[in-house]
Structure 1
Amino acid sequence: MVVKLVVRVKLLPTPLQVSVLEATLSACNEAATWAAQVAFDERVRKNLSLRKLTYREIKSRWGLGAQAAQHAIKKTCDAYTTLAANLRNGLYGRPGSKRHTRVSGKRVVFRPRGAQPYDDRMLSWQHGRRTVSIWTTGGRMKNVAFTGQAGQLEVLARYRQGESDLLCEGGQWYLIATCEISEVEPNTHPAAFIGVDLGIVNIAATSDGETRSGRRINRKRVKDRALRSKLQKKGTKSAKRRAKKYAGREARRNKDINHKIAKRIVVEAARTGRGIALETLTGIRERARPRKPQRTTLHSWPFGQARERSRPGPNSGHRSTA
């Protein structure tokens, strides 16, 4: 079994490097948007077919290298595949509805600073110096510094596989890398354990001193609940539909947060050969006596989901503690 972990490292480019990275992302996304228009007009969604129609033009007009041009085309095809799946699954309403018709009748458009995939021909890592050498429209740019948490950088150096994504978010530059970690041999008697306490203020706190704060998440949940309550009181058909959508969005967010936190704990346990000792929360909703404003928060967080996702497996030294 292979565990996939996404590691995000922060780039520390100089002002000159920033201008080059901005020009590169802009060119790649403009090219992808143009390819999306061609795909829409010609009703072409397959990578090879779209490449025949757009590859040469993208290289000549935007000055992209061979690998960057192919990634821009593939990104376009992937976007249309995702859109088709969302339409098929009813994310935009039923076929024939106004929203479904509007979305299906529009081409895909990419933001100027949307993420751009990089493979090993376009990006190389110098982990000892904590720098990367990255392809840009202005040529190969070397010695771009990066930083991150020590544990994440160690995982990145040992287990990175495949492509990485370059993106700009809030004026900051990041590389998103995928790491693939093979499951360690079953160890029924680990030498030590990572203790994990689950909570609301801190979603998870480990005995290593690492905490995952829930403050920002809880503020978002309060806003979502207030909006759903307002929509439910309104009582119209569209309001009920929107309330249902927001409820599903919160459930998906909670699931995603639990998944990411649990995966990091499992990976750290596997890396260090330790087991995981989880706090027993069975019956917490019956035992706890929170004040009225806190009851919704306590009763709506899926502790059981977090617990299950933290299980490394039947032979990985997992145990519970009261």
Structure 2
Amino acid sequence: MKIVAQVKLLPASAHDADALAATLRACNRAANAASEAAFAKGLKRRNALQDAVYHRIRADFDLGAQAAVRTIKKVCDAYATLKANSKAGNLGPEGSKRRTRTESKPIAFREGAAQPYDDRILTWNLDQQTVSIWTVAGRIKGIPFVCSPEALKLLASRKGESDLVMRDGMFFLIATIDLPEPAPREPDGFLGVDLGIVNIATTSDGQIMSGRQVNRYRKHHRDLRKKLQKKRTKSAMRRLKSIRRRESRYATQRNHIIAKKLVHTAERTSRGIGLEDLSGIRQRVTAKKDQRARLHSWAFAQLGAFVEYKAKRAGVPVVHVDPRNTSRQCSECWHTHRSNRVDQARFVCRSCGIVLHADHNGSRNIAHRADAVWQRGAVNRPRTA
């Protein structure tokens, strides 16, 4: 399985930092030139595009040979991703094909967008925690980097490209790690997980991970942004810039913590994890006006992705189930009716009379459904001899 590890570069001088920034600018300007050629001539394959623009972008943007090759590959990958993402939605009325808005003009790259590096233009020294990297000002050797002990251990299995990223004036390298993926074991039941806004995650064991602290944090930042935007002063704009990614980092950290707890619980009890298939939830759910910001701000997909990759590393199987009526169905007698859900927090079955926390009831239904899916033959079920 492939995961990523991020390290922070610490350029020793302003000259080194300027060289890294200039390299990103040059590579992304070259990528824009290659993108325009790819769009105008229909050259979306790497070899064809490389034959058309390689020598020109090397001369015009002062790129090295391998940097030019990586830049052209980046453009081709961007068009391939665009095609894959729009493939499902490129049909108009009555099945007629239509050109999406994103396909009406060439793909544009920001000057600070990530630039891929391979082992020919980037060398890692893990013992000294330094890198040697190509720039438009020449190769810079011995740039220190810092990272967590876990990330440093993962870098020993680094394989493939690494991306140079500039974020808020700081430079990072994001490396691809290739780890052996253990086969998912046969689970002894499933841990159902109900995802929500008031309670971010509730397990079928009854553990509730409240979203109160997160929602308060988000509300504080919304109010702060609104207040600063009204002021429109230079100091207010500086403050807005300094806090712009803080909320996102906080949400990502919380998702990592929750995912780790869920996977650890499932691994410790020899169970799999059952999750709702929440793809398209923002289009399916109609929220009240005062709840829309909370619904659209929480990263359900990110939390699900974190659970999946952490579960893969631990050999814990993950099964996605249909979320339909999980909040209205009784987890004891299976009676389903909308009136069973008395309010946001309380579930009272009109048939058997059982009273449960609504999210706990939903997570128990998810666990039952995940077990049923697994018994029918889940796609990631381990083979038996």
TM-score (norm 1): 0.64
Equivalent in 154, 163, 166 of residue 165 of structure 1: 163
Report the Cα distance in structure 2 between the residues aligned to 1:105 and 1:207, rounded to whole angstroms.
44
Percent sequence identity is 35
Matches within 5 A, 1:88-237: 88-90=87-89, 100-157=99-156, 159-183=157-181, 200-201=209-210, 202-206=257-261, 228-229=286-287
**1:258-308 deviations in Å (ceiling 9; x for gaps):** 2324424653x57xxxxx799xxxxx9779xx99666899569x9869999
Secondary structure in structure 1 of the residue aligned to 2:152: helix
Report the Cα distance in structure 1 between the residues aligned to 2:370 and 2:122, rounded to whole angstroms.
35
Matches within 5 A, 1:35-50: 35-50=34-49
Report the Cα distance in structure 2 between the residues aligned to 1:306 and 1:127, rounded to whole angstroms.
42
Report the Cα distance in structure 2 between the residues aligned to 1:303 and 1:10, rounded to whole angstroms.
40
**1:101-151 deviations in Å (ceiling 9; x for gaps):** 532221111010111110000111111111111111111111212122211
1:92–1:103 Cα contact (<8 Å) kept: no
Q: Which residue of 2 aligns with 1:10?
A: 8
2:181–2:312 Cα contact (<8 Å) kept: no
- CA 1:208–1:133 in 2, change beyond 3 Å: closer, same or farther? farther
What is the root-mean-square deviation in Å for CA atoms of aligned residues?
A: 4.6
- CA 1:265–1:175 in 2, change beyond 3 Å: closer, same or farther? farther
1:167–1:173 Cα contact (<8 Å) kept: yes
1:29–1:111 Cα contact (<8 Å) kept: yes
TM-score (norm 2): 0.55
1:11–1:174 Cα contact (<8 Å) kept: yes
Report the Cα distance in structure 2 between the residues aligned to 1:122 and 1:28, rounded to whole angstroms.
14
Report the Cα distance in structure 1 between the residues aligned to 2:122 and 2:366, rounded to whole angstroms.
40
Deviation at 1:36, TM superposition (A): 0.6
Report the Cα distance in structure 2 between the residues aligned to 1:208 and 1:187, rounded to whole angstroms.
14
**1:191-227 deviations in Å (ceiling 9; x for gaps):** xxxxxx9653452355999xxxxxxxxxxxxxx79x9
Secondary structure in structure 2 of the residue aligned to 1:203: helix
- CA 1:261–1:136 in 2, change beyond 3 Å: closer, same or farther? farther
Deviation at 1:40, TM superposition (A): 1.5
**1:38-65 deviations in Å (ceiling 9; x for gaps):** 1112221111111111111111111111
Greater shift after overlay, 102-111 or 178-187? 178-187
Report the Cα distance in structure 1 between the residues aligned to 2:260 and 2:75, rounded to whole angstroms.
40
2:158–2:178 Cα contact (<8 Å) kept: yes
- CA 1:38–1:185 in 2, change beyond 3 Å: closer, same or farther? closer
Q: Which residue of 2 aligns with 1:238?
A: none
Matches within 5 A, 1:22-33: 22-33=21-32
Report the Cα distance in structure 2 between the residues aligned to 1:35 and 1:76, rounded to whole angstroms.
7
Report the Cα distance in structure 2 between the residues aligned to 1:277 and 1:90, rounded to whole angstroms.
31
Report the Cα distance in structure 2 between the residues aligned to 1:200 and 1:183, rounded to whole angstroms.
29
Secondary structure in structure 2 of the residue aligned to 1:143: strand
2:11–2:144 Cα contact (<8 Å) kept: yes
Report the Cα distance in structure 2 between the residues aligned to 1:63 and 1:303, rounded to whole angstroms.
57
Report the Cα distance in structure 2 between the residues aligned to 1:207 and 1:256, rounded to whole angstroms.
14
For structure 1, the residue ranges without an aligned partner over 5 or more in a row are 189-196, 210-223, 232-242, 271-275, 279-283, 316-322
1:166–1:174 Cα contact (<8 Å) kept: yes
Kindly provide the amino acid, as one letter, of the partner of residue 203 in structure 1.
Answer: I
- CA 1:291–1:250 in 2, change beyond 3 Å: closer, same or farther? farther
1:113–1:167 Cα contact (<8 Å) kept: yes
Larger Rg: 2
- CA 1:137–1:89 in 2, change beyond 3 Å: closer, same or farther? same
Report the Cα distance in structure 1 between the residues aligned to 2:90 and 2:345, rounded to whole angstroms.
32
Kindly provide the amino acid, as one letter, of the partner of residue 55 in structure 1.
Answer: Y
Paired residues, what number? Answer: 262
Deviation at 1:164, TM superposition (A): 0.7
Query: Which protein, 1 or 2, shows the higher relative CO under an 8 Å CA cutoff with sep ≥ 6?
Result: 1
Report the Cα distance in structure 1 between the residues aligned to 2:137 and 2:71, rounded to whole angstroms.
17
